[in-house]
Structure 1
Amino acid sequence: MKISSRLIAIVVSAIVIVASLTLITSAVIDSKRQGWNMDKAERHIALIEPAIRADARFEQVRLMPYTRFNGCLRIEGHVSSEQVNADLLKIIKESHPPVPLDL
């Protein structure tokens, strides 16, 4: 059976179109997921930040939604010791954040 060059061109074109659509769709979905996760992080911060702010040991700590990991809860700042850092992480982890943490 002889395969025509026209058939090969059609098959290759179809593969390129499907691959392109897959990449575009994946990028759009990832962008949406990142936005959803950042919204989740924002809402979670609103829940736990009052407890963090109430403890003077964490006055230089900042919580924010962040783009890493397709949307996460970023923790940055300074604490006075490893023990204070462990206490902070315990509070945050026990709050069961709905997104990954970026430390």
Structure 2
Amino acid sequence: MTGEEQTVLVRCADLAKFAVPASVAQRAGSVAAALEAGQSVVELPRGVSGKGLATAVAYYQARAEAEERGADGGEFDGEFVRGLTHDAAIDLIYAAHHLGDEALFNLFAGYRAN
């Protein structure tokens, strides 16, 4: 197919590998910098686990789909964060920090656990 989006191979410190759409991968500052440097495989910092990256990618893709449907981004973010387990939230926070994605990291700024 000629209309397929380019993917980037992203490898975590725990050796988990993901083929991530380039548009999704470029949201992360550290990945975007590696792509600009011409790397075909992006090695992520030690603090990014496969679980954290999987959650980040799921968020990016679900958010893009929600925006296409016209959903409110703030409401989507709140529902996404509330739907995470404690461990998944911690993995996502580490991933957001080490990926250099301030918007993803800030999802938790107003979050209060009950």
TM-score by length of 1: 0.29
Which has the larger Rg?
Answer: 1
TM-score normalised by length of structure 2: 0.27
Going by fraction, where is helix more abundant, 1 or 2?
A: 1
